[in-house]
A and B are shown apart, each in its own frame.
Chain A
Amino acid sequence: MDWFMVLEWLIKSFVLVMVLLTGFAYLTWFERRVLAFMQVRIGPNRAGWQGLLQPIADAVKLIFKEELVPNQVEKLLFVLAPIVTVVPAVVIAAVLPWGPTIPFPIFGRTITLYIADINIGVLYITAIASIAVYGIVLAGWASNNKYAMLGGMRSSAQMVSYELALGLSFVTATLLAGSMQATHIVDAQKGVWFALVQPVMAIIFLVATLAEVNRAPFDMPEAEQELTAGYHTEYSGMKFALFFMAEYIKMIAISAIAVTLFFGGYREFWFLQTTWFSVDQNWWLGPIYMFLKIVVLLFFMVWIRATLPRIRYDRLMAFGWKVMLPLALVEIMVTATVLAFGLPWYVNTFASLVPFAVAVMIVDRSLTTKKQRRVSNA
């Protein structure tokens, strides 16, 4: 009996890791195709139908590439850094449910579609996310290269700063659900998604995650024009591929977290609840909904990369500390007040928009007055 439990865990972990790894491979293809589409190009379409074999070709190429280890690097940390980067990215998704409990027993066991449903799931995510910084910092330092070092330091400063806003948006989801357990948070969104109850925090979460995974427009650690390639300048072959892999797996994982915390998890749209499309009636729809929601969020991330230019580093930090953090704190107070008085959820929605509008006005004001000053000086 006990062995079946171990076997179940092993199978589920294996499936999750495999999904993340293939997801990474096809996310690169997806990103290149979507970027090409947005830039009126064609993109990779040679290998296989519509270029679907492109990721395999890339992988083969990277495996057979020569791996250089420069002479002046700290050998141990140089080799360790890519591994330290990939592991948190893979394990962070362990607490997320990707479907309801399977209604019929398999080998006498009720199978649940998550690996671990711990009562501090949200805290687990923050803990792993905060560990993820090390890989990049160590890669930057161990490379013994000025550009890599600058990239590593930028990333550590940036990730630590945006982790604050990220953690606070976790707090909102916890407040609304009344639990830190991922399955409870999903169940609490049966009626209304938290993205509708607290839209501002959902936006803050999405912006902070972009900074957290070093994606454009916050890809400071690897800004090509300034730092050649930032922290992975000295890496080649499979070691470079590991950094690449970590970034894309993190994108998938963080989209899955966003879906779980704010977009109803594996659940259907609230108005489909009593119909055939509900996960309560057909359990196998859960993973499909989860997949579709993640793809939509990934599309948004690629879309943002295609649209927005990289912002300046000091502005990035100022935005994180002076706009996102205070706004997130005020939003938590708003949510807590609404919950304490037991008001209906739409009050929360409207109340949350007020500090957001104030923040937008303040930022807009500070930008225009600076511009006017510059004009009057010239």
Chain B
Amino acid sequence: MSGEIFLFLTLALIAVLTALGMLFSKNTVYAALNLVINFITVAIFYLLLDAPFISLAQVTVYAGAIMVLFLFVIMLLGIQQISAELNWRSLILPGVLAAILLVEGLYLMLARTGAGLAFSVTTTAALANPSEMSKQLFSDYLLPFEATSILLLVAMVGAIVLTKKEKGGDA
């Protein structure tokens, strides 16, 4: 048990440090790499919580695909140094919203401490076993699943439409 706590604390430290490093590094490539390490640490957290499928999906999708594209764009545009100053005033509204979210999250967490996990047993089994998970996805959670797929499709079509328009407009 103490080994697990030690592992958790180490990983938590790495996660927090890389998150801060991502925020404060002047070099965008290093910021992106910090984020990659952060994603991988979070993936290990999922592993510790007995959710290997989500863990590896996290690595594949976020660390493997999205961040590679981020790096690609950073290198392509050559914006390695951030020189612009922050416009603090434009950050007030997002800041307030983020603070509300944070308070809400903290409240939920503190209110549930000691109450035990609210998830049913089937959910835990589904997280550990991919075939159980897909059964749940295609039966109990079919509507949200399909809605998400449509959302992703819309995003994809939107991206294609945006790039097409730019080409036609410039020429």
Contacts and interface: CB of A to CB of B under 8 A. Distances in A.
Nearest to A157: B72
A126 B33 CA distance: 20
Given A119-B130, A127-B59, 17 more contacts: A77-B33, A118-B52, A120-B52, A123-B130, A126-B60, A127-B56, A127-B60, A129-B64, A130-B59, A137-B68, A137-B71, A140-B75, A141-B71, A152-B75, A160-B65, A160-B69, A163-B65
Interface string A109-146: 00000000011100110110111011001101100000
Contacts of A163: 64-65
Interface of B: 29, 33, 36, 52-53, 56-57, 59-60, 63-65, 68-69, 71-72, 75-76, 129-131
A130 B65 contact: yes
Interface residues of A, number: 26
A153 interface: yes
A73 to B, nearest CB: 13
Contact of B57 (A123, A131, A156): A123
Contact of A160 (B59, B68, B75, B76): B68
Given A130-B59, A160-B65, A120 B75 contact: no
In the A-B complex, list the 9 residue pairs whose CB atoms are closest, starting with the nearest. A130-B64, A127-B59, A127-B60, A123-B56, A127-B56, A156-B72, A133-B68, A130-B60, A126-B60
A307 to B, nearest CB: 31
Contacts of A25: none
A131 B64 contact: yes
Contacts of A119: 52, 129-130
Contacts of A127: 56, 59-60, 64
Interface of A: 77, 118-120, 123-124, 126-127, 129-131, 133-134, 137-138, 140-141, 149, 152-153, 156-157, 160, 163, 179-180
A180 B130 contact: yes
Contacts of B72: 137, 153, 156-157, 160
Nearest to B80: A141
A321 B130 CA distance: 29
Given A123-B53, A124-B56, A127-B56, A153 B75 contact: yes
A161 B32 CA distance: 21
Nearest to A180: B130
Contacts of A153: 72, 75-76
B130 A130 contact: no
Contacts of B57: 123
Interface centre among B33, B57, B60, B69 (most CB of A within 10 A): B60
Given A130-B68, A160-B68, A137 B75 contact: yes
A119 B52 CA distance: 9
A140 B68 CA distance: 13
A130 B64 CA distance: 5
23 contacts: A119-B52, A119-B129, A120-B52, A120-B130, A123-B53, A123-B56, A126-B56, A127-B64, A129-B64, A130-B59, A130-B60, A130-B65, A130-B68, A133-B64, A141-B29, A141-B75, A149-B75, A153-B72, A153-B76, A156-B72, A160-B69, A163-B64, A179-B131
